[in-house]
Structure 1
């Protein structure tokens, strides 16, 4: 599956089945929460003059908290209805703090990355709905392997950065290899949206309970946040 949060099969069939509209509404609600949380932090930091070190620590803290909550929902998807709101708020804090950090490279990066994220998401939805790209089992398997490989690289990078103050050679240093790797990750994140869309349609076809619409919404939000962060990373490299 594209996103571990919605890859579990412990989803129950209920009296009221989930719908695509239900997932869309809940995803929109969570996006709004994340946006408000991120914008609130962004302007508060600008007006109050929060230090760069505090913003950096907030970025790390919110990232790991959201990651941990998402990991918990992977094993307890029935809790998504309760934890979706705090998850969205944490993602908003993460987005806001990352945007503040990105402004050190260029003030235009956050807005450009946000625009690129939503344009890309719209394009992928169009490609999926038109059937130009079909989600086959082979496509799903290859993409899932790529996603987990990238996740492993991220974990190694976090350990090296936080534990030793170093980095994986070439992949995160802003050079041409790092730019190429960032473009590759953006492509993988974009294609993973196709799997998220397909997962929603599969859930609807299976008659899964509407309570689990929150699970799919959390998964889509996680993918969109991933895309945004990678666009920010790429734009920061290009500014350097």
Structure 2
């Protein structure tokens, strides 16, 4: 079975990005991905903190949220077609996500000051728990598990897309409320996002020391996509539980 046969639910880890992976003598390494991921996370954290300060000073940061998510989508499309631009696009993506997450979490922070920090903590713990489960092979990434996670991720994405479109027409779907159905949906989304990390770990492990060095930026982008998704779901779940109880 070739490397291109392995699949992941993360759009960054598709065979498209790994064509010609043996052209360079310098290969993708775990340490390289770690450094780039840590740098990107620090960028997101710094931008998020700046947005929080603006919000605290009375500035309307709504447009940062909207602009951040639109920029993130545009950059994701760009990196899908121009993967050799990844060293430039990934830092820009981190800035865009910082704007979105900063504004998104700032509104929640108003009513629940400690909640964003708690969500960050839960996200970090979840990351390492899933990494340990993967490394110890307590959970094995089989073809069946991969298919289930991919299907669940796509389904959740479609539900969100439909809900966002309907929101423009002032039609609120169940996912935005605090009903038990909404809470269950968000909880399931968070669980799927955490399991998506397993696919990311699996794909990186299969390509380490094989794919060319530049692919580290693409692997970094893939991890950012999953971690941001996980953080958002955890924060939304905590918010819904706090409001309901």
Aligned to 1:39: 49
Q: 1:177 aligns with which of 175, 181, 191?
A: 181
d(CA) in 1 for partners of 2:46 and 2:175? 32
Is residue 2:58 matched to residue 1:49? yes
CA contact (8 A) 1:179 1:237 kept: yes
Q: CA deviation at 1:125?
A: 0.6
d(CA) in 1 for partners of 2:193 and 2:75? 20
Is residue 2:197 matched to residue 1:167? no
Aligned to 2:241: 238
Q: How many residues align?
A: 233
Ranges in structure 1 where 5+ consecutive residues have no aligned partner = none
1:185-204 equivalences in 2 (<5 Å): 185-204=189-208
Q: CA deviation at 1:23?
A: 0.8
Residues 104, 223 of structure 1: alpha-carbon distance in 2 compared, 3 angstrom cutoff: same
Ranges in structure 2 where 5+ consecutive residues have no aligned partner = 1-7
Which has the higher relative contact order, 1 or 2, with Cα contacts under 8 A spaced 6 or more apart?
A: 1
Q: Deviations over 1:182-202 (max 9, x none)?
A: 110000000000111111111
Is residue 2:143 matched to residue 1:134? no
Provide the TM-score with structure 1 as the length reference: 0.92
Q: Deviations over 1:185-229 (max 9, x none)?
A: 000000000111111111115x11111100000110111111111
For the aligned residue pairs, the C-alpha RMSD in angstroms reads: 1.4
Q: CA deviation at 1:75?
A: 3.0
d(CA) in 1 for partners of 2:111 and 2:154? 29
Aligned to 2:156: 150
Q: 1:97 aligns with which of 78, 103, 122?
A: 103
CA contact (8 A) 1:8 1:74 kept: no
Aligned to 2:17: 10
